[in-house]
Amino acid sequence: MGKKNSTTSVPAQVKHVKKVSENAFLYDWKRNRNLLWMSVIGVVVMFIFNYMPMGGIVIAFKDYNLFRGIWGSDWAGLKHFRSFFGDPYFGRLLRNTFLTGFWTFIFTFPAPIILALMLNELKDGMYKKVTQTITYLPYFISAVVVVSLMKTMFSGSGPVNQIINAMGGQTILFFNEPGWFRPLYVGSAIWQTVGYNSIIYLAALSGVDPTLYEAATLDGATKMQKIINVTIPAISGTILVLLIMNIGSVVQVGFEKVFLMYSPGTYETADVLSTYVYRRGIQGREYSFGATVDLFNSVISMTLLVIANTIARKVSGEGLW
Amino acid sequence: MKETRGDKIFRVVVAIILLFVNIIMLYPFILVISLSISDPQAVLRGEVVFLPVGFSTEAYNKMITTPNFWMSYKNTIIYAVVGTVITLALTSLTAFPLSVAKFRSRKYLNLYYMITMFVYGGMIPTFLVIRSLHIIDTLWAMVLPGALSAYNIMIFRSFFQGIPDSLHESAYIDGANDWRVLFSIILPLSKPVLATIALFTMVRHWNSFFNALLYLNSPDKYPLQMILRNILIGAEQLDKDSGFEDFAKRSVTEALKAASIIITTLPVICIYPFIQRYFVKGVMIGSVKG
């Protein structure tokens, strides 16, 4: 701070602070015009691609008219909400979205922590490096490829069914059976993210004070005891922050993978809110109805985020805000 | 500190578990590579479960001659390059003012950008906005939505803030303005973060499927992932239609699926080592400091 002021004319700055302290933009217009100009394009781009859609959500309360656009269309009140809540698929969509998100969260959240703890037990060397390289890789594979790899693995004549057959079981058509959708979805999600998401925990683990382990060793702690009493408490802050950040994802099931995996035969368990928005809203051109489902989805995930943050603050005094 | 016997056993057990993890991670890749270069007849008989059986490049030959394939490859490269350049330019310009202490508006601008991390308009409103801009079925629909993200702004800002103040201060004293400071001092010193975000953005464009599904109508503008999906669906359709009669046709499609996966994924795997060098840093800046 002191250094900064000493290089520029201090009195002039102080005078400005007094005069225009109530309006930062006016101040910057006078003194930092270039920086304002630099920001203009970012502000405009964010406005168009993020804030306009946020405002555009009012279309959920209107009847979208192709020629009059979002703002010119007539108001429809809660009509679309009534039809969404009365939709025969409403219960199914809610259940599928929640269960898919919930199980994904339950398995993909702890998996990277366990992987990081295991990697942390390895000595630095070739094996550790190779394992890291291999486990991070699936994160960079596209959803289309992940789903096709799965379809190859789990096809009627694929290796998984060959094993099942060899053990005397019947061939399972995994992608046609509603009961297998969630296990496949969650399993592939672990495969994709476990390595990459472990990076952050490994970083936190590398910051643990080695003297803590030495002290525990002197006290006669076993490896497992050290992990439970030293390592995990040391990274609990990181775990908590990531927990809050990810809690909203329980109802935000990614569109791409479900869309690529499901078929009318598995809608029973696979169809989620975002895919329903696509089918009704984009394909069926019922824009207002689709926006209603969008809004419903966003409101639930925001609510979850706020609840998670509130609980976290109560319990540990830490939170995202 | 000496290792006890128990510790040693523990380490070995962990190493063995991780060996299984590695196998599960790699197996699908090995399988498709084997499927793509094996004799198509062997593929169809289900003999290929690990290593290639026989040898054939038929699938690759067929792949290369598939109409639209090279065009989609070209499209993807264009989207990835243009999209990455736009992302880097926009993010640098937007993040730099936020890192300058004397800039008072930065508090408000920062909030303005960060809100977008938590509030999302949704698929339909975004689609309607993009349609109202008349950029449906153009390059711009592929590269502009998502070009500027609060997350990237945050990463750039923290990096810029880490550059010692004395460097730009001396430039200001020498009479340089903010533009000059950004282009002549900040950006040349920010190569690591520019490279990291560039690689991530490129991979994101390479793998992107959703934007094309929503915003493109003409098949000649489709990116690789769309064509890949069509090949895979087409193969499935053929499976259903022809049953087991059209043996020759089916035998090629199985291998063709595998070959198309390989050709599509190869570039990402090639740049992966370069990403890996950087991404430990990138992830940390973004998430821990958040």
Among the partner-chain residues B14, B26, B178, the one whose CB lies closest to the CB of A118 is B14
For an interface test with B, the pick among A9, A26, A27, A38 (most B C-beta atoms closer than 10 Å) comes out as A38
Q: Output the average pLDDT for chain A.
A: 87
d(CA A226, CA B133): 59
Which are the contacts of B107, defined by CB distance < 8 A and separation ≥ 6?
A24
| Contacts of A283 by beta carbon, 8 Å cutoff, 6+ apart | none
Cβ–Cβ gap B14/A152 under 8 Å: no
Q: What is the dihedral of CA A53, A55, A61, A63, to 10 degrees?
A: -60
Q: Do A256 and B258 touch (CB under 8 A)?
A: no
Chain A closest-CA separation from residue B61 CA (Å): 20
Does A305 contact B118 at a Cβ distance shorter than 8 Å? Answer: yes
Domains assigned to chain B = 5-66+223-288 (no CATH), 69-215 (1.10.3720.10)
Contact of A319 with A313, CB cutoff 8 Å: yes
Task: With CB atoms and an 8 Å threshold, state whether B118 touches A118.
Answer: no
Could you give the percent of chain B with pLDDT greater than 90? 48
- pLDDT tens-digit readout, B251-280: 667 788 888 899 999 999 988 888 887 766
* Higher local confidence (pLDDT), B227 or A22: B227
pLDDT of B284 reads 47
How far apart are the C-alpha atoms of A297 and A238, rounded to whole Å?
27
User: What was the pLDDT predicted at A6?
Assistant: 42
Calpha distance B72→B78 (Å, rounded): 10
Q: State residue A26's pLDDT score.
A: 87
Q: Which of B18, B90, B273 is nearest residue A131 as measured by Cβ atoms? A: B18
pLDDT band at A20 (very low <50, low <70, confident <90, very high): very low
Interface contact B118-A204, CB threshold 8 A: no
Q: Do residue A34 and residue B178 have CB atoms under 8 angstroms apart? A: yes
Does A242 reach chain B within 8 Å, measured CB to CB? yes
User: Which of B1, B94, B123 is most worth mutating to test chain A (most A CB atoms within 10 A of its CB)?
Assistant: B123
Give me the pLDDT at residue B285, please.
Answer: 47
- B156 to chain A nearest CA, in Å? 14
The beta-carbon neighbor of B93 closest among A42, A53, A150 is: A42
The residues, any chain, with a CB within 8 Å of residue B96's CB and separated by 6 or more, are A35, A38, B156, B160, B178, B182, B186
Task: Tell me whether A131 touches chain B (CB under 8 Å).
Answer: yes
Contact at CB, A32 and B112, closer than 8 angstroms: no
A155-195 residue pLDDT tens: 888 899 999 999 999 999 999 999 999 999 999 999 999 99
Q: How many CB atoms lie within 10 A of CB A106?
A: 12
Residues of chain A with Cβ-Cβ distance to B133 below 8 Å are: 48
pLDDT on residue A63: 92
Q: What pLDDT, on a 0 to 100 scale, did the predictor assign at position B68?
A: 81
What confidence tens digit (pLDDT) does each residue in B190-249 have? 988 898 889 889 999 999 999 999 999 999 999 999 988 888 877 666 666 555 445 556
Residue A113 has pLDDT above 90, yes or no: yes
Average pLDDT for B170-177? 86
Contact A223 B6 (CB under 8 A): yes
Cβ neighbours of B17 in A, within 8 Å: 118
pLDDT at B56: 83
Q: What is the pLDDT of residue B253?
A: 76
Q: Do A130 and B22 make contact, defined as CB atoms within 8 angstroms?
A: yes
Facing residue for B122 by CB, picked from A25, A57, A196: A57
In this prediction, residue B240 carries a pLDDT of 60
Residue B147 has pLDDT above 50, yes or no: yes
Chain B contact for A139, CB < 8 A? no
- Say what percent of chain A tops pLDDT 70: 92
The DSSP annotation for A188-249 comes to HHHHHHHHHHHHHHHHHHHTS-HHHHHHHHHTT--HHHHIIIIIHHHHHHHHHHHHHHHHGG
**Nearest CB partner across the interface for B25, out of A7, A55, A134:** A134
Mean pLDDT confidence for A115-132: 92
Q: Do A191 and B290 touch (CB under 8 A)?
A: no
For residue A288, which of B245, B125, B59 has the smallest C-alpha distance? B125
Residue A75: beta bridge partners? A62
pLDDT at B286: 45
Q: Which of B25, B118, B124 sits opposite A137 (nearest CB)?
A: B25
Over residues B45-55, the pLDDT tens digits come to 778 888 888 88
Q: Which amino acid is at B130?
A: I
* Confidence (pLDDT) at B246: 54
Q: What is the pLDDT of residue B93?
A: 96
A137 touches B at CB < 8 Å: yes
Q: Which of B6, B28, B229 sits opposite A153 (nearest CB)?
A: B28
B1/A214 touch (CB, cutoff 8 Å), yes or no? yes
Contact: A131, B7; criterion CB under 8 Å: no
The pLDDT, as a whole number, for residue B287 is 42
Average pLDDT over residues B148-152: 93
- Phi first, then psi, for residue A177 (nearest 5°) are -105, 120
For residue B290, pLDDT over 70 is answered with no
Q: Is the pLDDT of residue B143 over 50?
A: yes
* Shortest Cα–Cα distance, B106 to chain A (Å): 9
Binary contact (A32, B178; C-beta < 8 A):
yes
Instruction: Please give the domain boundaries of chain A with CATH numbers for all domains.
Output: 1-31 (no CATH), 89-316 (1.10.3720.10)
Percentage of the residues of chain B whose pLDDT score is greater than 70:
89
Tell me the C-alpha distance between A146 and B21, whole Å: 17
Q: Which two tokens stand for residue A91?
A: 């219960």
ipTM: 0.89
